[in-house]
Structure 1
Amino acid sequence: MSLFRKKPAPAAPTVTEPTHVPLGAPAATGINLTKGGSSSISLSKSDPTVQITAHLDWDGGSASRRARGADLELYVLHVSAADVVAGGQRSQPLPGGAIYYRNLGSLEQPPYIRHHGDSLTPGRETATIARPDQQGYALICAYSAVGNGVGSFKEYGARAIITDGREQTVSVPLYDNNRHAYWVAIALVDFTHDGAVISQVERYSRPGSEARPVLYSNGRIGMDEGPVEFK
């Protein structure tokens, strides 16, 4: 693992019309969200064994792109059910408000979220979110390590995949080729409904900013407002 700054990325945004699946409807198996789209998965919050899994997948793009580096990091920012406030207070600073490779979390105690380890090469990083009755919001983010050089998250083939491990899987792709962002917020998981509502949010940091996003107590996302990360 390197320990310093970050990267930019290529081409122009492709914008598709948002698809919205009604909040009360369970997601079809393998649903693929369009830009700005959302879907829901049905969860039994009375069952303490229920878990959902969030993956950050990336293939590194082309062979030449992979050869130049493609080290991405999965972050899960979180607000507990008890901390949900309509006014929109900030979630706790690190390590309380973010689960990632340096703060792996736990499934046995708050925040009931566990990161399963760092991947330095294209592939997958995974976090498990347990106890949906204790969750308010979870924001699936990716950070790009400095050594990657120039290249967008979309160019790296990055996407979030969220599944209940049974029959419901939601894939959340990226549509914009942002050449100057070190951070992207990909998907917001909202547990304040009967199930879990998953939205494609695709928010990027300012050019050159290494400050991570912040998740507020009402589910609002604040880009460039958190601690600066180096890898």
Structure 2
Amino acid sequence: MNELSKGANAPLGGTGLAITVVGTQPGTVDLMVLQLTADGVVRTDDDFVFYNQPRSPEGAVRLDGGDITVDLSALPPQIERLAVAVAMDDAAPGSLASSPQLAVTIDAHGEQYAVTATGFTSERAAVLVEIYLRGGAWKVRNVSAGWDGGLPALLREHGVSVENDTPQTPLAAASTAGPLPATPPVAAPPAATPMPSSSGPVDLGKRAGAISLTKGQRVSIEKSPVITARIEWPAATDYDVFALVRYADGHDETVATFGTRKQKKATQVSSDGAVRHLGDVKRAKGARGKVGAPMATEVVEISLAPNIVAVVPVVYSAMSNGTGSFRRYQVSMSIDNGRGDSVRIDAANASDHNKIYTCVPGIILNPPSGVTIEALELYSKPRSERRPILSGDLRVLMDEGDQNRFKW
């Protein structure tokens, strides 16, 4: 049995999965599965599998008590993720922290993985594990992250329609009632048009340990004297990292190993010495295009003095480096405070497009109470070599800055 720690992932062999979740109980902690597109939302409410709708439309996902069976080969081509989630009934007191026995086992063609859901505080709904398609292969990740707002927050985040203050609808009933009678009442089906995610990021509050964020999520960790932002990719290709730094007086600086056409000279250290690029990492010798190449890492070191408002690490693959794909090369960013807390953001929503050169995984904010990281996962336009910029209200605007100078 392979144990997956929080944020860890592993490949899945075969197409048939047998998933068992312990610690759930209908009417107290309910189990559910959401079929999601690459954008992290359902196509319609029929992609929400729960005890009153225990089968996905095509039958690829089936729920029976605490057991889930999945046939990955039968999933519609638009479905690239499955979120195995739990939510507390409205009538149940407390939070998921009072359910320490929550755990998941996945049997994938004889290979078994175990996930123990840990680190919950005030959350009343959470995604325990995510099964996702990456580079044509299926993987599983221990997510163990959730929402204080319970089932409605979970559903809205994934595009399922929720009728506020109308518990009689089938979806709302999942948060307020136990198992329904064998013969369900006749009722109109929920609206088929997915609702957009909430206007602001989903705030997971302050956390500790290893945390994995998906696009639109925000989390806070303890502040330490030095924060590191690490960008990782297979050394079969060559990515570069630079960082945008916003100061309290409104001015911006860029820390990089290469310049732009207008400003050819680059600096690896901010003017106050608070943000440092620790050096360019080249493609591994002889590894160009090879499968299984070692991982490469570039590091930006940050001392979050009070005069720094935000830092935006940017990942860049120049046209002069040749073609590349953030999805194919599985680029990721990790923020670490050196005290056992780390936040990881993967390029989960990247396309296979070979001419997208820039990705902004997330933004690091510097409030007095800690360090806040928000997963953005923004990508440049195809063939654009222009850098992103920060707006006055800290929005990252892609393709609005100077054009990068090629590295030869």
TM-score (ref. length: structure 2): 0.44
1:55 aligned partner: 230
Deviation at 1:20, TM superposition (A): 6.1
* Aligned position for 2:207: 27
State whether structure 2 residue 367 is matched by structure 1 residue 195. no
The question of 1:184 aligning with 2:184 is answered no
Contact 1:212–1:224 under 8 Å retained in 2: yes
User: Counterparts of 1:35-54 in structure 2 under 5 Å?
Assistant: 35-43=215-223, 50-54=225-229
Identity %: 28
Note if 1:99 corresponds to 2:271.
Answer: no
Deviation, structure 1 residue 204: 1.0
- Aligned residue for 1:56, secondary structure, equals strand
Cα 1:36–1:111 shift into 2, 3 Å: farther
1:16 corresponds to which of 17, 33, 40: 40
The 1:130/1:56 distance shift into structure 2, 3 A limit, reads same
Report the AA paired with residue 151 of structure 1. G
Max Rg structure: 2
1:35–1:174 CA contact under 8 A, matched in 2: no
Query: Which amino acid is 1:173 matched to?
Result: D
Change (3 A) 1:216 1:193: farther
Distance 1:112 1:216 in 2: 21
Q: Which has the higher strand share?
A: 2
Give ranges in structure 1 of 5+ residues lacking alignment: 1-12, 45-49, 61-65, 84-90
SS of 2:386's equivalent in the other structure is: coil
Structure 1 residue ranges, 4+ long, deviating more than 2 angstroms after superposition: 13-28, 145-151
8 Å CA contact retained: 1:57, 1:123: yes
Q: Does 1:173 align with 2:173?
A: no
Aligned counterpart for 2:383 among listed residues 199, 208, 216: 208
- Is 1:114 paired with 2:276? yes
Q: Distance in 2 between matches of 1:25 and 1:182?
A: 32
Matched, 1:151 2:324: yes
1:78 equivalent to 2:242? Answer: no
Which structure 2 residue ranges, 5 or more long, are not aligned?
Answer: 1-36, 42-126, 128-144, 149-202, 259-266, 284-294
Query: Hey, what's the Cα distance between the residues in 2 that align with 1:161 and 1:126?
Result: 10
CA distance in 2, matches of 1:145, 1:222: 19
Is the Cα–Cα contact under 8 Å of residues 211 and 343 in structure 2 kept in the other structure? yes
Distance 1:219 1:113, change over 3 A: same
Across the two proteins, how many residue pairs are aligned to each other? 193
Which of 119, 124, 149 is the equivalent residue of 2:297?
124
Name the counterpart of 1:63.
none
Report deviation, 1:80: 1.2
For 1:15, give the aligned amino acid: D
In angstroms, what is the RMSD of aligned CA positions?
2.4
Q: Shift of the alpha carbon at 1:21? A: 6.4
Greater RCO structure (CA 8 Å; 6+ sep): 1
How many Å separate the matches in 1 of 2:340 and 2:332? Answer: 19
